[in-house]
Amino acid sequence: MRFNYFLNYLKENFSTNGLDEVLLKSHVQGFQFNKKTELLHPGEICKYFYFIEEGMVRTYEIRDNKEDTLNYYRSGHFFSSFRSFLHQVPCAEGIICENEVRGVKISYNELLSLRRSNPYFNQLSIQIYEKLVIELYDELNAYRKSTADERYDLINSSHPKISTISLQKNIASFLGVTNSHYSAIKHKALKQHLPPKSGL
């Protein structure tokens, strides 16, 4: 099921003329991780490139002995410590599962083997990296131009269930606001979406 979901995603988003499904399947692995599983610690070398079928992960850095949330990734998205994975160097960030996460992954060595076996996978890799760069640029640009209230709307639009999955302090960190400021924004947003009181 996980591979089929991944395969359908590729077919819907990329040129798959020349895709060898059997070869691809032989190089990727299914995964399932429990909530709070640490997939990567700061300072380690990232060995895998992941695709999420279901669940959410959070990336973070340690600054002043505190976790500073960098990003969230949900179903239908790739994630990794991209610089660490592509160059096999120690990473600055960590990756943790915010709830149960499942999907497929490929190791750095398996990816190299796959690309050597069939030149098509060089082109597919480039397509995937291009899509990731564009998505990350658009996301960063949207958050950069937004107020705190607008950033709250953006994160909830992208991740509708985030407030029930991730801790408030981590969401606040991602939005660049304090816990108390986040609480005020959330209260204001919820109040605006309440149905009007009916008259007697």
User: Which structural domains are found in the chain, ordered by start?
Assistant: 2-118 (2.60.120.10)
What's the rounded mean pLDDT across residues 145-160? 92
Which of 91, 3, 107, 99 has its CA nearest to residue 57? 99
List the beta bridge partners of residue 33. 101
List the beta bridge partners of residue 40. 95
The Cα–Cα gap between 110 and 112 comes to 5
Amino acid at 63: R
Q: At what angle do helices 179-192 and 168-175 cross, to 10 degrees?
A: 90
Q: What proportion of the chain, given as a percentage, has pLDDT over 70?
A: 96
List the beta bridge partners of residue 69. 60
Amino acid at 68: D
Q: What is the pLDDT of residue 192?
A: 78
Residue 62 has pLDDT above 80, yes or no: yes
Q: Mark 10-33 as b/e (b = at least 16 C-beta within 10 Å).
A: beeebeeeebeeeebeebbeebeb
Residue 199 has pLDDT above 60, yes or no: no
Amino acid at 29: Q
The least confident of 18-27, 139-148, 161-170, 187-196 is: 187-196
Q: Mark 79-98 as b/e (b = at least 16 C-beta within 10 Å).
A: bbbbebbeeeeebebbbbbb
Band (146; pLDDT cuts 50, 70, 90): very high
Mean pLDDT taken over the chain: 92
Amino acid at 58: R
Residue 84 has pLDDT above 60, yes or no: yes
Are the C-beta atoms of 86 and 47 separated by less than 8 Å?
no
Tokens at 24, concatenated: 């691809």
Are the C-beta atoms of 151 and 167 separated by less than 8 Å?
no
Query: Among the residues of 66-178, which ranges form H helices?
Result: 82-87, 108-117, 120-144, 148-158, 162-165, 168-175
Amino acid at 15: S
